[in-house]
Amino acid sequence: MWGEFTLLLPLLARLPLRLGYRLAAWRGTLNWVLDREWRSISIGQRYIRAATDQAIKQILPDLSATETRSLTRRRFETNSREEFEAYLLMNDRMRELSFSIHGLEGVREQLVRGRGVVLLTMHFDSFIFGIICLGMNGLVVNAMSSDIVESPLVSGCVRRFFSRKYRGMERYLHGGKIVHIEQNPRFFYQALLNGECVVVLADLPASSEKDHRMWMQFLGRERSFLSGAFRLARRTESALAGFVCQWEGGDKYTVTLSECVLPEEVNEASYHRVYDFFDAAIRRKPERWWASDILRTFETR
C-alpha cells in the first residue's frame, strides 16, 4: 500500500491525462488479479473479488461466468480510477476536466428559497467529483465522512490519503466542509437549517438492531438501509434529491440528479423513488458500483 499511495498514484496524477487514466486501469486489473484493496489489506482478508462476483450475479443473474468475471475486473478498474482521480484533485487539476450537469434546477430553486437540500449518492463511479462539481456550480456543499478511515487497522499512508482528499475537496465546496458524522452530527442539522446542501452516502446497510432502519426495494430484494438521510430531511424540513457522477471517457464527466423532492413531499414513497434512481444507474453499469461487495451484508426479507 505504501508504494501505491505514496509513489505510484501521485506519479500517475502528474502524467498527461490520457496516459494516467490508462495506467490507473492497468493498476485496477492487477488489483483484480491479486484481489487487493486497502479495505481487505487492513483486515487481512482478501474478499472483495468474490463478494463482487456474488453481487453482480444477484444484479444480473443471466450473465455467464465469463461476463461476470469481466464486470468484476472492471469494478477494480473503476476503484483504481477513483483513487487516481483523488490525486488529480490533490494536484489541483480539476480545471483540466470537463463536467456537464443535468437536473440541477430543482435543487437550485429550493436553495434560493432558503431551504436546505439533502443530497443522496452512492459509492458509484466518480461520486467525489460529483460533489465537487456541485460546489463548482455555486452550491454550498457539506458532506458526511466517517472516522472509520482513521482506524489504527488502516495503513498510515491510506489515512493520510483520505485526509488530503477531504481537505482538497473543501477548496471547491463554496464554503462547505467534509465532517465525520461520528464527531459532529449537529453540524449537518445546522447546515441544512442554514439553507445549504448535505451529501449523505445512501448505500449503507443497517448493521444492528440499534440502527434506525428503513426497508427499501433495491436490486431485486427488499433490503434494510440506514435511514439517517430520511430522518435528517424530515427533521430540518429540507428538500431531497439523489445524484450520480459518471466518467464518460477521456476528461469528460456527467453529473445527473434525480427529481428534487419538495420538503413537504418527503415521505417513504418519495424516498423510495430516489433509490429507484440509483437502482437504475447500477443496473445499467454494475461495474461502476465499486462498493457492491457490501450487498451481501444487507438484511433482506
Residue with cell 482506524: 151
The pLDDT of residue 254 is above 70: yes
DSSP assignment of 30-58 equals HHHHHT--HHHHHHT---HHHHHHHHHHH
| pLDDT tens track for 72-100 | 999 999 999 999 999 999 999 999 999 99
- How many beta carbons lie within 10 A of that of residue 291, not counting itself? 19
Contacts of 244 (CB under 8 A, 6+ apart): 121, 122, 124, 125, 127, 130, 255, 256, 277, 278, 281
Reported as a pLDDT band with limits 50, 70 and 90, residue 266 is: very high
Predicted confidence (pLDDT) per residue in 203-220, tens digit: 999 876 666 789 999 999
Question: Could you tell me the pTM of the whole model?
Answer: 0.94
Number of domains in the chain: 1
213 — phi, psi (to 5°)?
-115, 160
Q: What is the rounded average pLDDT of the residues 131-140? A: 96
pLDDT of residue 154: 86
Position 103 scores a pLDDT of 96
Q: For residues 199-219, b (16+ Cβ closer than 10 Å) or e, as one string?
A: bbbbbbbbeeeeeebbbbebb
Average pLDDT in the chain: 94
The H-assigned helical ranges of the chain are 2-3, 9-12, 17-34, 38-43, 48-59, 65-90, 105-112, 127-136, 156-170, 186-193, 228-236, 268-284
The mean pLDDT value for 149-169 works out to 90
pLDDT, one tens digit per residue, over 180-198 is 998 898 999 999 999 999 9
Q: What is the pLDDT of residues 94-111, one digit of tens each?
A: 999 999 999 999 999 999
pLDDT of residue 119: 98
In 3D space, the residue among 233, 178, 223, 173 whose CA is nearest the CA of residue 203 turns out to be 223
User: Domain span at residue 82?
Assistant: 2-297
User: Does position 153 have pLDDT exceeding 90, yes or no?
Assistant: no
pLDDT of residue 152: 87
- Give the model's pLDDT for residue 211: 62
* Per-residue pLDDT at 1: 75
pLDDT at 149: 87
265 confidence band (pLDDT: 50, 70, 90): very high
The mean per-residue pLDDT over the stretch 50-69 comes to: 96
Q: Which residues neighbour 180 within 8 Å (Cβ) at sequence distance 6 or greater?
A: 144, 145, 146, 147, 150
